[in-house]
Chain A
Amino acid sequence: MTETLIQVDNLKKYFPITGGILQRVVGNVKAVDGVSFHINKGESFGLVGESGCGKSTIGRTLLRLNDKTEGKVLFKGEDIHSYSKEKLRSMRPKMQIVFQDPYSSLNPRIKVGEAIGEALLDHGLVSPRDVKQRVLETMRICGLADYQYDRYPHEFSGGQRQRIGIARALIMNPEFIVADEPVSALDVSIQAQIINLLSDLQREKNLTYLFISHDLSVVEHLCNRVGVMYLGSMVELADTEELFSHPLHPYTKALMSAIPIPDPTLKRERIILKGDIPSPANPPSGCKFHTRCPIAADICKQANPEYREVRKGHFVACHFA
């Protein structure tokens, strides 16, 4: 029986825009605008979309690194946004995050071994005597060598720094990890190493991932279910296989056809979207995608399409799907 670990209901996160001498709120950037989904225990849920679609904001709001504007985020059935500071802190080890650029999340003056063990000590989960042992164990799991304990972040390559980032999250023994573009800054040969590490860890530790990426091919490889976002809304969500074999939303189709495939003999029908992504501060009326949609009709300008289940587990928000 699958157990729901995270439940998100109609989540909204607006960032206010201030202006004028009095810095009054003159508008809102609707980074996340009414998104609902759930993540089962032990699965990896992929969130894809282009820059500014709100995927990272969702990741941060799920961990309560941001406050929400509206809606609900339940972790194991409990609303973490209603927790007190102390209670939230005691929850923190269970939910960890891995960032895109591990260098900017490491203090250049702290030895890597200490940086990995820091949070354990802070939370009092291990005695100062045993911390080094735990750090070394975790470093080995993440493919780092013992002698690297005393090294500083600048002595590591990008791929190794990402291993450090993963070790820092992993040492807390979390149940849920938000991985925010963890391989986007890495070279192809290193990217494959990190992807394999993430999937090994998931299998061994029964971890649950929210995997945020703009790269559909990485998401397809790693995730069980995938949600596609555009301008703060979820436009399509389905099992990975279903989504990649039967994409329904025109945006999903366009995203897939835009990915360059390393096969020069392949002839494809390319859907090249016109124009740019509109500003999330002033999104288009009706369906937010209508300004770039190849099949947009009058109804798309007027009415926001309902986000509905068209097949079992396959949700889409489009008038023509």
Chain B
Amino acid sequence: MINILLVTHGDLGKELLKSSELIIGEVENAKSISFNLGDSFETLLKKVEENTGNLSDDELIVFTDMYGGSPYNAVNRVMKNRSFYHITGINFPLFLDIAIARDTYSLKEIAEKIIKNGKKSIVFVNEKFLSD
């Protein structure tokens, strides 16, 4: 099974895992690194290195919460020597989708799925009802 690593501002990733349990049960082979107030970037970088070091590129997918943020920057730094998949801008429906798809799809197929479905997860509800 493909391993998931979340790296986020505060406990967003930890809570994302907990919230996912409500819908799909325990998310296995998944870890989250929280970047908290006062943590140094170097500490964050070390944690990312530790949590990716024992996994090969093709058995790992890494998610961060925001393009350009420190978690994103730290993961990208590690990617200097690695080529695992890194998706940023993770949200709840997208995460659930991927957590489930891990069982049946390859990494490449999951990445394609993300591109296809990711943006669909944000809906302006008023507009949808008006146009339907």
Interaction A to B? no
